[in-house]
Amino acid sequence: MTRTIPVGRSNYTSRLLDLWELYDECKGSENDNPAILPRDQQFIVLELANAGQDLESYQFNSAEQAHALFLQVAFGLAVGEEAFQFEHRDLHWGNVLIAPTEQKYATFVLRGRSHRVPRCGVAATIIDYSLSRLSLPLTAAGERAALYNDLAADDTLFDAVGDYQFTVYRLMRDRLGNDWKNFEPYTNILWLHYTVDKMITALRYKRTNTKIHKHYISKLKAIKDRILSYGSAVQFVLTDIEY
């Protein structure tokens, strides 16, 4: 659930600055300190439900859960592509949240067909659409308006090195020719490739010696080997997914 407190115009209060600095000191933040905002800055406050821990810090029981989470993320992107020409464009492992669930399946409707995806005890939530792109219909004739962040205006995003995340930014730029208005769902495939790579090489698992874990690690490796051959998340989930 999300609750929005109406738009206001003010400087950040000292109490909120103290809380931001405390969070940054304890957990670290990649965002700018809000103290830099001007006194007439417009803002809204969103009250969000707790969707769990991020993928980077979560400890799975086994790769079976990671595989289930991956399918949820892939189908979520596919539904967004189909409905809104959606690209996330920044789906690093801090932007996938995980919460425990007793619900056995997540249901996704794609091209009129329902797909039931096993949850295996974990529910995925995709967050942070700062760099995302989508199209909204404007007329009955189907004309669309693109909403996007022009990443061509920020070269520093493409300068970082050391993690595959930063390589993906450059791969997106190359695929789009640095024209960020265009719809190019292959960017979602790049982030799915990044996600499955993290699941194989970097995530923490409790039961790594079990047959079920090794089986699903093999399935994740197979996905990693072939996913870049698909042009979109829609194409991937409709032609490749086994669950």
Q: In this structure, how many other beta carbons lie within 10 angstroms of the beta carbon of residue 226?
A: 11
Question: Active-site residue among 32, 90, 155, 174?
Answer: 90
176-to-63, 88, 166, 236 alpha-carbon distances in Å:
33, 14, 16, 20
Q: How far apart are CA 151 and CA 131, in angstroms?
A: 8
174 part of the active site = no
Q: How far apart are CA 41 and CA 12, in angstroms?
A: 8
Residue with tokens 């289930």: 68
Q: How far apart are CA 236 and CA 199, in angstroms?
A: 18
Q: Which helix (H) or strand (E) holds 107?
A: strand 105-110
Helix (H, G, I), strand (E, B) or coil at 160: coil
Alpha helices by DSSP H, listed for the chain, are: 14-27, 63-84, 164-176, 186-201, 211-226, 233-239
Q: Name the residues annotated as catalytic.
A: 90
